[in-house]
Amino acid sequence: MNSSLKPVGILGTGKYVPEKVLTNSELEQMVDTNDEWIVTRTGIRERRIASAEQASSDLAYEASKIALKNAGITPEEIDLIIVATVTPDMAFPSTACILQDKLGAKKSAAFDLSAACSGFIYSLANAANFIATGTYKYALVVGAECLSKITDYTDRNTCILFGDGAGAVVLGTVPEGRGFKSFELGADGAGGPLLNVAAGGSRCPASPQSLEGKQHFIFMAGSEVFKFAVRIMGSAAEEALRKAGIDKSEVDLLVPHQANIRIIQSALQKLNLSEDKCMINLHKYGNVSAGSIPIALAEAAESGRVKEGDCLVLVGFGGGLTWGASVLVW
């Protein structure tokens, strides 16, 4: 990043996942699948499911309270709230505005960002630049999803993958030598039809026909998305490292989007990293889209996997198609 800008880093992390657990054995009773097949193909054993009363802002609120406490920052000090989500509470107001009200962060600007599973990295880049230029002092960045609300539990190809949860971080200035060193963001809109929710927007408003056609649920061309992910995860991380001027051998921890264990393993191979240098928790939560990386990051911080001075690489891919990576010195 430009040396004239203020160094920006993460001051506190937090996560929240709903209480309800949906296991592979329970899915066996719902669709034609089995635990061995799911674990072998994805690495997922269970996922968390929001209650009927919970929306993305509720999950975001719980994660944000923890992040703010860990950062030693009050809601009144927050200047900016960005919520990365593809499952907002509603079309508008934004989930970020709803969260702002829940927290009592009265002076903060607030908006949602939609980049699917890459949304958290996109949001970090936005918030970091606001702080680096001196526009704002503190920002709250949240990845929050209730993917169970848009998952078709009669589709065995997708219902095994997704779960609910939220992760949050507080950003602010940090000492020289610490903080974000680079961001790599990208998109390929031509791949949009490979992973989407077709109905509910201005192109295809809700109608009896869209409901009957299950167009309000996640559609994914699995094999094509898998090929894209295997290619882009490693290359995006490599490009972020190149921009930061940091060698692969200096990476202490990879925090990837938690979509599929085989995709994560391919990224590790590309970066010449062993699995002990990777934060993996998809066996517990499945794919939580924009929530995956911040939940994994919060767990890494909670469990002592990260210490001051460590070099972290955050990387994800998602619908759009989009991708994002960042290099961060803790």
Query: Which CATH number does the domain housing residue 160 bear?
Result: 3.40.47.10
Instruction: Kindly name the residue from 70, 97, 287, 311 that is annotated as catalytic.
Output: 287
Assess if residue 26 is contained within a domain.
Answer: yes
pLDDT tens figures, 262-307: 999 999 999 999 999 999 999 999 999 999 999 999 999 999 999 9
**Is 2 part of any domain?**
no
Residues 162 and 243 both lie in one domain: no
Question: Could you confirm whether 287 is annotated as catalytic?
Answer: yes
Strands 164-173 and 179-187: unpaired
**Average pLDDT estimate for 252-258:** 98
Question: Is residue 155 located within the same domain as residue 217?
Answer: no
Q: Are residues 206 and 158 in the same domain?
A: no
148 and 284 housed in the same domain: no
Q: Which of these, 116, 72, 80, 70, lies nearest to 297 by C-alpha position?
A: 70
User: Which residues, in sequence order, are CB contacts of 145 under 8 Å at separation 6+?
Assistant: 56, 59, 85, 86, 87, 164, 165, 166, 288, 289, 290, 291
What is the pLDDT confidence band of residue 3, given thresholds at 50, 70 and 90? Answer: low
pLDDT in tens, 107-136: 999 999 999 999 999 999 999 999 999 999
Q: Are 202 and 326 in contact (CB under 8 A)?
A: no
One domain, residues 40 and 152: yes
pLDDT of residue 303: 96
Same domain, 24 and 172: yes
Write down the catalytic residue from 70, 97, 117, 129. Answer: 117
Q: Is 117 tagged catalytic?
A: yes
Q: CA-CA distance, 110 to 282, in Å (whole number)?
A: 29
* Average pLDDT estimate for 49-65: 98
Kindly report, residue by residue over 176-199, the tens digit of the pLDDT.
Answer: 999 999 999 999 999 999 999 999
Catalytic residue among 129, 257, 260, 281: 257
**Tens digits of residue pLDDT in 25-42:** 999 999 999 999 999 999
Residue 1, pLDDT score: 45
pTM to 2 decimal places: 0.97
Q: Which residue has the tokens 């963001």?
A: 185
**Number of H-type helices and E-type strands within the chain:** 10, 13
> Which pLDDT belongs to residue 4?
81
Q: Which domain holds residue 231?
A: 180-329
Task: State the Rg of the chain over Cα.
Answer: 19
